[in-house]
Amino acid sequence: MAFRKIRIPRQVAQLVGPVVRHPTLARRYVDTDEVSGQLQFEILKRHGCVPSSRVLEVGCGCLHAGRQLIGYLDADHYVGIDPNAWLVQTALGEPHVAQLVTEKRARFLHVDTFDASSLGVAFDYVLSHSVLSHCAHCQLDQFLTGVEKVLAPGGRILASIYLAEGNAFGSAPAPNQEDSMDEEWQYPGISRFKLATVEAAAGRHGLRALTVPEYTAFIVATRPRECHDWMVFERP
């Protein structure tokens, strides 16, 4: 099951060439921008990311966070995963982004799984924004399976999600505060998971799941609509 199983919007498909050069359409699709990416980048730095860290971004999209990370990290230290190659190609249509990617030797995988193990790289951080908040119920385990296998010793996974309990920053609780139990990818809709469900899934993969409400507070201070819960997964 693809984690972002989509069709290119018709108006984009009519314009697609070797490189998509219409960033407004791509931004409209992913519903984020460079400000959102900068905030995600700041969260990673607050959690200890330094230029020598190796970072995997799952759901890198238009590189709104990626371009910040690529510029900050040492060469060869950034990998992005997104099955929608047209979103990455859109970002690469901007000359300064293409030059940055070339200089820093950033790599991209256009796969419909969460698995970057084919590269043989262990990552200090995995960043995933607005992926678990749309995934089918079974994809929570798929996500943790894929990213845990490439996590370096002491590595951390930072991911946004919508918890079924809701939060104090604008995220409403799910009906009865239960898992939404979606069978398919829910974009542009959202899916929700109980905290206990997330903690149990993390435990099955040898991980501990921690909520970090201060990261949500940091983001909503600038982006009130982006009221996802933020979680950190780490090995005990």
What is the edge-to-edge ordering of all strands in the sheet holding 107-109? 107-109, 78-81, 55-58, 123-128, 151-161, 229-234, 208-211
Evaluate whether residue 174 is within a structural domain.
yes
Evaluate whether residue 4 is within a structural domain.
no
Model confidence band, residue 28 (pLDDT cutoffs 50, 70, 90): low
Instruction: Give the CATH number of the domain where residue 192 resides.
Output: 3.40.50.150
CB 208 within 8 A of CB 234: yes
Model confidence band, residue 5 (pLDDT cutoffs 50, 70, 90): very low
Interatomic CA distance for residues 141 and 223, integer angstroms? 29
Q: Indicate if the alpha-carbon torsion angle 78, 130, 2, 195 is positive or negative.
A: positive
211 DSSP β-pair partners: 231
Average pLDDT over residues 78-91: 92
Angle at alpha carbon of residue 167, lines to 165 and 173, rounded to 5°: 40
Closest CA to 97 of 31, 19, 17, 14: 19
CB 61 within 8 A of CB 90: no
pLDDT at 35 over 80: yes
Average pLDDT over residues 201-216: 98
Give the chain's domain count: 1
For the record, the structure tokens of 227 come out as 């009221």
Evaluate whether residue 69 is within a structural domain.
yes
pLDDT at 23 over 60: no
Q: Provide the domain limits for residue 48.
A: 19-234
pLDDT at 29 over 60: no
**How do residues 134-160 score in pLDDT, each as one tens digit?**
999 999 999 999 999 999 999 999 999
Give Cα separations from 162 to 75, 95, 178, 226 (angstroms). Answer: 33, 35, 12, 10
Q: How many CA atoms lie within 13 A of 122 on its CB side?
A: 5
Interatomic CA distance for residues 15 and 12, integer angstroms? 5
75 DSSP β-pair partners: none
Evaluate whether residue 12 is within a structural domain.
no
Evaluate whether residue 13 is within a structural domain.
no
Evaluate whether residue 5 is within a structural domain.
no
Model confidence band, residue 188 (pLDDT cutoffs 50, 70, 90): confident
Evaluate whether residue 112 is within a structural domain.
yes
- Return the higher-pLDDT residue of 188 and 129: 129
Q: Give me the DSSP letters along 162-193.
A: -BTT--TTS-PPPGGG-----SS--SSS---B
What are the phi and psi torsion angles at 117 (to 5°)? Answer: -65, -20
CB 149 within 8 A of CB 205: no
- Return the higher-pLDDT residue of 186 and 56: 56
Weakest mean pLDDT among 13-17, 82-86, 169-173, 182-186: 13-17
pLDDT at 6 over 90: no
pLDDT at 22 over 60: no
**How do residues 38-53 score in pLDDT, each as one tens digit?**
999 999 999 999 999 9
Weakest mean pLDDT among 11-25, 75-89, 215-229: 11-25
**How do residues 157-179 score in pLDDT, each as one tens digit?**
999 999 999 999 999 999 899 99
Name the CA dihedral angle for 23, 24, 25, 31, rounded to a multiple of 10 degrees.
100
pLDDT at 113: 87
Interatomic CA distance for residues 231 and 216, integer angstroms? 10
pLDDT at 187 over 90: no
Q: What is the mean pLDDT of the chain?
A: 89
Evaluate whether residue 183 is within a structural domain.
yes
